[in-house]
């Protein structure tokens, strides 16, 4: 792969709001997750945990847009840690894992809707989230019915500073 190909994947990936009803093969998603696990993670903690959400739990989550009608829904949790600095490292590693998954899904034509609904206390209980774990997202996964236009981003020069 060259820079141009990878740039295209990064620049064309979107948070999908509406999905086609076509089923998604869970084994395809698992194969993408298996590749995504090569995300950087300090001390090889591999702190991510995936929870596939069935119809009953999905109804109870009561997402206002029902995850855009995505045929597959999963949550990604980040394992807790005794020290705050270790917890932050776990969250960062799990976020890298998620980004890997998002890019991989995009390359095979899948879209993903990232929601924060799992962080709400009642939904943590519903998802049986272990004490100390963080819910980094509940994701609707499917084939996009529509792909939103890219939103403007701040110029990177406005986000860079130099230290002496």
**Residue ranges per domain, the chain?**
20-159
**123: closest CA among 135, 110, 114?**
135
> Is the pTM for the entire model greater than 0.85?
yes
Instruction: Tell me the sheet residues that pair with 142.
Output: 111
Q: Point out the residues of the chain with pLDDT beneath 50.
A: none
pLDDT at 58: 98
Contact of 141 with 13, CB cutoff 8 Å: no
Q: Does domain 20-159 have CATH number 1.10.1280.10?
A: no
For 121-158, write each residue's pLDDT tens digit. 999 999 999 999 999 999 999 999 999 999 999 999 99
Cα gap 31→76, rounded to integer Å? 16
pLDDT at 30: 98
Cα gap 141→139, rounded to integer Å? 6
pLDDT at 1: 80
Phi, psi dihedrals of residue 129, rounded to the nearest 5°: -75, 125
Burial class (CB in 10 A: 0-12, 13-18, 19+), 143: middle
pLDDT at 36: 98
């Amino acid at each position: 792969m060259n820079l141009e190909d990878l740039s295209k994947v990064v620049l064309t990936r979107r948070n999908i709001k509406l999905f086609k009803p076509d089923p998604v093969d869970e084994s395809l998603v698992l194969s993408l997750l298996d590749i995504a696990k090569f995300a950087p993670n300090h001390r090889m903690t591999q702190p991510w945990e995936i929870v596939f959400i069935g119809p009953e739990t999905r109804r109870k989550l009561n997402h206002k847009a029902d995850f855009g009608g995505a045929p597959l829904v999963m949550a990604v949790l980040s394992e807790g840690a005794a020290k705050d600095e270790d917890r932050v490292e776990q969250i960062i590693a799990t976020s890298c894992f998620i980004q890997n998954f998002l890019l991989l899904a995009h390359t095979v034509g899948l879209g993903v809707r990232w929601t924060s609904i799992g962080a709400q206390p009642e939904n943590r209980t519903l998802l049986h989230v272990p004490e100390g774990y963080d819910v980094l997202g509940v994701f609707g996964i499917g084939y996009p019915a529509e792909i939103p236009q890219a939103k403007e981003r701040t110029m990177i020069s406005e986000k860079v500073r130099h230290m002496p």
